[in-house]
Structure 1
């Protein structure tokens, strides 16, 4: 026991309830901002492009995504009664709802609706379905035998593996470059910038100086940003089109319902619940907090409840459903700062960036290769955290079988999405994600596979294992 305590002591600079000095909290919060900023902006950016929204409307929903993420993060971190996890769990716009949101918007426009009605319908459907996640969160305590460390570990590992693809794409120059100018993708310039950032982070992270370790990601990104700017690779001209202030107006685009999309939206909220359980488990793990027991289950329940509440708030303030972000777990592990008080700084920064788009614009023009150099290591640590969660269980033949099938199914649909070609679009949307397919497979197998073979204890049941071995010895 003393060994494990010593590991936590040396690896974690600030634990969950520690209060860093303001300058240290700001530095840690800044690194979280750098990790999530593009992730929060990307869904509204993609949806706005797909729906061909006017530039000012697109800019507004991006600003509201940042504003809502700040409010949602405060609720999640502060914890109000049963709402929130109380962990350093950051909220941001969910990628899970991308396909369905675009589908709803396009169907409204095809029927003659305006861009405002398209957005109002997306937010309306998201709002009336958000209670699904809140209701499901109340049943998590009774499902702790289903959502075991083995299942959670598989989901967290798949989350990390899925994010690695995003990181490596950024290292090459980004998705737009790959789609439109593939001959420039993976150029020596992009690879060089990413390498500078990655090497800088590694060197600083291994430093015994806690300031350098806590600032390793921010300093690595700053160095890459400066080099890219000197090389003329930072598009500062895009800053001129940004508005000075964006006021958060409830139901700014109206409130409409498309009943045919209610059931698909509700299903996606259920899927998001599974992903959030994995994200929150990873956050608890890298923060040195338990991933089993009543305290853990209560935190997960509160976190999922918070996801539902925050998604409702997002719909009211003209943004898309929110969820816990997994990339921040990599930042926690790299910096050694798990203090939830850092979350208050992050929420404040997000609100300010949402209200003043020009400030956020400085972050939005960071070159993809610079971001990729940092996110490749952060996302990799998320996958490593999942492996650590799995390793906390005793894995027998049953556990190995669950892992093998879950990883195979989850990664399989990622490598060959064409396998879902014969299915309707909603099925592709739901099961086209490695996290969704692999996570649901793990849950199903954990329910239906026999709990033991020839009287042997199940995977993860340490007490049963000890009792069995003691009886055998006697």
Structure 2
């Protein structure tokens, strides 16, 4: 019996880890779905909170902006995991409000109002759908060295975010206090211990175990304020076009430029999921469908009064860490997000979680994203050409945000684009990979053949 058990145990793991269509038992799938939502929740609601401050929103308007962010993220996640015709990657992709658009959205909201930001987002989303539709023809632009650099920089960019959350969140009166840092360290230690010494489902749910453990400790220490739960309504359906739509050319150009880079992020995230989770290169239909779904989500978000949506990198780190690549797990998470958007008290319960708890888990997840980027880069031939592309891109991606004075000397939108570091790094990687001689076409052809061979016979798949 012991021998039979030993032989049978690896099979579910391989099935769930390698096949996005595999469905774990509901008793395991639901907690894993909750884990995804808890991992992305703070990042999803933070941008609307920031934009609410810029436009001078009332408390009621801020609650509304948080509600629609949750509702839209849930709908957009289902578009990715379930799909609509050619739209949707049908992979475990969690959609959420994008931080990438904030450097452009904030000054635009201050100058033109939220309606101009939403109008520009609507156009940018439609352009991204077009980009996704023609992605197969330009996929050779996105070689492993390019996508790997983008994923690596996403992780590096998010690492300080995780540490700031671990310290209690920027602006917190007890920022970097021993209590906050100790709580984050507790979550980090629990997560690592469960991941290393746990088995089966417990190992896969290590982030959730760490978050719940930290939440319970925070409650015991009196660090949790449940007033947001008490003040939230029981049920409320989000209203579309609450702030209207306005179209300004400056806003549209700025949002469209960021849209292209966010599309590149999505390509990198999809590649990280398939390589880190499913152990293969991403297929053309997955990349194309994922980028188109990103665009649909962004336009849908504009209609429902919230900022553009994108595939969430922190959840890619979670997939890489747990090895669970089932898209149905994330579908459950999308349904939970919709429920949180319709029943604000549920969202308030998660919103009450201290930032330090989320930061403890973020330290692991954001680091795993960077690791996934390194794994993608490893797929290419690291010759002098590739090393030059990596060197220039990383120097721009890491150096520019550290020297903010450079961005401040640039005019208008150009300065805003340089502040992020990711935009110039991604563009540099794309440009250098396209113009430098000696591009390894053989590797790209082999990747296409591998993706074609992996395509299932069933056309619906």
Map 1:176-255 → 2, pairs under 5 A: 176-177=171-172, 181=173, 184-255=174-245
**Post-superposition shift, 1:237?**
2.7
**Structure 1 residues 39-68: Cα deviation after superposition (integer angstroms, max 9, x where no partner):** 110110000011111111111111001000
The residue matched to 1:19 in structure 2 has which SS?
coil
**Post-superposition shift, 1:9?**
5.9
- Contact 1:27–1:214 (CA<8 Å) still a contact in 2? no
**Post-superposition shift, 1:80?**
1.6
Map 1:46-445 → 2, pairs under 5 A: 46-108=50-112, 118-177=113-172, 181=173, 184-291=174-281, 296-445=283-432
The TM-score with structure 1 as length reference comes to: 0.88
- Contact 1:13–1:210 (CA<8 Å) still a contact in 2? no
**Post-superposition shift, 1:381?**
0.6
- Contact 2:54–2:106 (CA<8 Å) still a contact in 1? yes
- Contact 1:395–1:459 (CA<8 Å) still a contact in 2? no
Matched with 1:33 is: 37
- Contact 1:149–1:291 (CA<8 Å) still a contact in 2? no
- Contact 2:229–2:348 (CA<8 Å) still a contact in 1? yes
- Contact 2:156–2:366 (CA<8 Å) still a contact in 1? yes
**Post-superposition shift, 1:290?**
2.5
Q: Take 2:426 and 2:124, find their aligned partners in 1: how far apart are those partners?
A: 22
**Structure 1 residues 123-148: Cα deviation after superposition (integer angstroms, max 9, x where no partner):** 22211332111111233212222210
- Contact 1:14–1:20 (CA<8 Å) still a contact in 2? no
- Contact 2:301–2:307 (CA<8 Å) still a contact in 1? yes
Task: Describe the shift of the 1:11–1:328 C-alpha distance in structure 2 as closer, same or farther (beyond 3 A).
Answer: farther
Map 1:451-466 → 2, pairs under 5 A: 451=438, 460=443
**Post-superposition shift, 1:250?**
2.0
The TM-score with structure 2 as length reference comes to: 0.90
- Contact 1:60–1:246 (CA<8 Å) still a contact in 2? no
The residue matched to 2:310 in structure 1 has which SS?
strand
The residue matched to 2:244 in structure 1 has which SS?
coil
**Post-superposition shift, 1:336?**
2.1
The residue matched to 2:241 in structure 1 has which SS?
coil
Matched with 1:22 is: 26
Segment drifting more, 398-407 vs 124-133? 124-133
- Contact 1:28–1:215 (CA<8 Å) still a contact in 2? yes
Q: Take 2:258 and 2:434, find their aligned partners in 1: how far apart are those partners?
A: 21
Unaligned 5+ runs, structure 1 = 1-5, 109-117, 465-474
